[in-house]
Amino acid sequence: MPDRHLYLQTATTSQYVAQIVEHQLATVGIPASLLALLTHVRDLEPVSPSALSRAAGTPATTLRDNIQRLVDRKLVRRVPNPGDGRSYLVRITARGVRTLERADPVLLDAYLALEARLPRPRTEYERILAELNEALSHALDALAGSAEQRESAAG
């Protein structure tokens, strides 16, 4: 059997990143998962939940709950979607901007600590991870499509 540890290695990477970011954000008072979503909102606003789901790689149901958590913390707000009256868009609030500004220096410390220990340029890793995430997204779509086809054939 060939050695196929890519998923295991990326899961380990995810755990290290989560631990570092949670440690660094303890003084800011926001969980890493919400900070990542808040960053996506800032970068993409005004943004629909479906676009946020794709950007964050988060299932829609989880995303809805996390958007509500951000709304409850007054970090984002929902606004009407002019292109679709049945949906909404998400925008960052001034409080959300301040939260990201407080997070920036502590996350920069984490980046610098990591970058000092990388044997190759950080940008090389970023490129490879972007490619990996794109491939994982397509693999998930293909696997979900295969499962739907099997269910249709069995039904």
Question: What are the pLDDT digits (tens) for 55-111?
Answer: 888 888 889 999 999 999 999 999 999 988 888 999 999 999 999 999 999 999 999
Secondary structure element (H or E) that encloses residue 89, with its range: strand 88-92
Question: What are the pLDDT digits (tens) for 109-155?
Answer: 999 999 999 999 999 999 999 999 999 989 999 998 876 676 767 76
Tokens, residue 93: 């609030």
Which residue type, as a one-letter code, is found at position 81? Answer: N
pLDDT at 68: 96
Across 37-45, average pLDDT: 96
Question: What are the pLDDT digits (tens) for 3-27?
Answer: 889 999 999 999 999 999 999 999 8
pTM for the full predicted model: 0.74
Nearest by Cα to 27 from 110, 116, 111: 110
